[in-house]
Amino acid sequence: MDVRPFKIHVPEDVLEDLRHRLARTRWPDEIPGTGWEYGANMAYMKELAEYWRTGFDWRAQEEALNAFSHFRADIDGLGIHFIHERGKGPDPLPIVVTHGWPGLFLEELNIIPLLTDPESHGGDPADSFDVVVPSLPGYGFSDSPTQRGVNHSRIAHLWTQIMTEGLGYRRFCAYGSDWGASVTAHIGYNFPEQVMGIHMTSASGPQPYLGPGARELSDRERAFIEERDEWQRDEGGYNHLQRTKPQTLSYGLNDSPVGLAAWIVDRIRTWGKGESDEEKRRRYTWDEVLTNVTIFWAAQNMGASCRLYYETAQSPWDLKQGERIQVPTAVAILAQDQTHAPREWGERSFNVQRWTELPRGGHFPAWEEPQLLAEDLRAFFRQFRA
């Protein structure tokens, strides 16, 4: 496997073209006074677009990103970008950290120093990690797949190859949120000899067996299923479109920077922690949001990222009777995330050894509550440090 250092650099002509397109945006109409009820709010998007065009400093963000150690690995003709930061403790534990959609590796940056250098952040140096944060295929600076079938199971294989063949770790730990939770579950299922334990922010991935002979659903499980179905009806339009017609969507997202930004911003606003728009705006700064959007724009891979929904829908993961993921598992539920599965639901699919209900945080835990998440990761994986 060819692993080589990588430096982020977006060509100036790409940035100039972006500013030109922003200046020539053809705005849609809007029903007055509807706020965000119909989707991304017009006044907000106009203000954000103007800041993106005239105030946002991509080069400053690029320089900050390049302070981390970036690499690219060529695996079977597919280039995968990842960050690899070495721990500063006496015996760092290797961990692969996987982001979700519409996030990127940026989601995980706040947690990296807390895991690599816990002593500098109020922790025990014995709890340090070697942290590897890959970009999903078709996200960020990873290549977009050119063939069918790059789903969560395939990504789990890629990550295990990077950790073992590329970086030389005999065994490692895994953590993920959103899509990253499902990838992490697949690592636990497919590679129990290589992964010591898995940590996720949802009991996500496989559909547990609920047929004849299965334990009867509890009241909390029934309530969770109803809540999940209701959320899909009210907020799952993006999901249905991306899992059925991602190519149709990709033309607009690849051609209009404001269209791309609206598609991402609406998800962050809906899923992220914060009761009011002002609180959300303080928590998810425009520089952070626009760094995320600019990477998708420059790499021209938002359409490819959406295709992961289609590939996932084509390969549903249903556990059989008596089957579950046996590696030690931790789940950290964040108080303000979308839906909350009860522990008994998670135990149908996973060997749950730690179940934490964190008092704060939404759908982007490493971005929103890195300290809480880091403490839970340290606590769970401490048992594997013998």
With CA atoms as reference, report the closest residue to 209 among 293, 126, 325.
325
Q: Supply the DSSP string of 345-386, one letter for each residue.
A: HHHHHEEEEEEEEESS--S-HHHH-HHHHHHHHHHHHGGG--
Active-site residues, by number, are 178, 309, 363
Nearest CA-CA partner of 1 in 71, 76, 69: 76
CA dist 107 and 363 (Å) reads 11
- 119-145 exposure pattern, b = at least 16 Cβ within 10 A, e = fewer: eeeebeeebbbbbbbbbbbbbbbbbbb
For residue 286, the SS3 value is helix
- What does the alpha-carbon distance between residue 263 and residue 352 come to, in Å, rounded to a whole number? 35
Q: Could you give the CA distance from residue 193 to residue 21 in angstroms, rounded to a whole number?
A: 50
Calpha distance 121→336 (Å, rounded): 25
Q: Which of 134, 132, 130 is nearest to 94 (CA)?
A: 130
Compute the distance between CA of residue 139 and CA of residue 142 in angstroms, rounded to an integer. 6
Cα within 13 Å of Cα(313), Cβ side: 13
